[in-house]
Structure 1
């Protein structure tokens, strides 16, 4: 494991959420924002640890099911920007890819490293700024982000950096969670009065994402696929013990059905995210 120090970003954009979540969002992006995000990842670790049978593991398996046919089975070099706990990166490393994860919070990187060590996997880790990636042009065969770009009022500079470090012939991949209704979050406001967990900067549409990528020369095969029709996560709260105990199995079974809706108008209406991919000339 190697780590490159780099100045973390401290502001992403203007909050665009309802009042309760606006206060939380503004708290995250005050001058000590990296420390605030560290707290979030520490809480995630304390709450979930390295569990492998959660709803989020099901979501990650669906993501990887989309990505897998587009990447070579023999491996390559992959960078995940804003890697968080690096769940997607771990799936690549298990296939023999040489992986690098970059995030601006140390707690996220610590969690990612712990996850890799538990699986006897190797990776390079860097603490850095996605506006100024500390890597040379054309360094990676695959540059990915998962649940990152929606947190930017204007993600254009971030995408530009991701494409800069992507080699010619490489693959750009991102899944974007827009600030919109989804079946997964449909019941989130019940019982707490806080409303849906919409701490997302952009209410991206499919057309907007296509427009974003059309501004970059040298891309081909741009695909924006609405996806992620899942059962409401509130159904699996501890208050409903029977469903909570079987959360993983139920969601995995439903995901097999929901994946058939990917790319359809139903996924556009009810889906949790968009899968975005493009090749670099």
Structure 2
């Protein structure tokens, strides 16, 4: 059942407030209702969807424009309804060619109970992977306008995709994030920043909370180290999903290569799995 407006006001405010606290918080990325319940039960304060996890679950490779709006929104609805936690969604490039279409996507996101969503500046075109700054700003502004029209707080995250698409231009990335901040974005995000120095440069150049992808820096930075750089939110991205796939592949190789079943010793007990499916009340419940 879709949460009530009163509940969405609570969830939206809780998600917004997490970005204002001291230090940094981690938002994990479930790919379905079951993993949402597990992560909620383990104590995370909020959740975010993963386009990569959803794509592979559906037997598709991840990539820009690999999923459509209806599929992503339907998956987000299942995750929203699985727990009482705030949920933000990876809305990719807005699943639309125009700012008006982006606004429709964000309205649809709010319609299924999401209290946050991201808009990225990728095009999905191999020969021209990142949109112009002017076009990207218009699309961020459209997402913000749609979010503000919702009857509950909705956190808009604007993403600068340069580093994901082979354009390691930190100065341009910062210019883009500053422009997205000016357009009204609540959180700023440049996936795949390669170092602590790059993370610090981004955080010191903008006035809004910054999200960073866990594990993309070399060496990988801890929660406390990212917080010391100025980060407010840390997303796991597809890492939990890929870790789960890694466990499956290792177990399968053990059976195929050795004919043994030692992996069962590390598998969670059946009863624990069933208990994890119990709904966990969110903050204030």
Higher helix proportion:
2
TM beyond 0.5: no
Per the normalisation by structure 1, the TM-score is: 0.33
Higher strand proportion:
1
Per the normalisation by structure 2, the TM-score is: 0.33
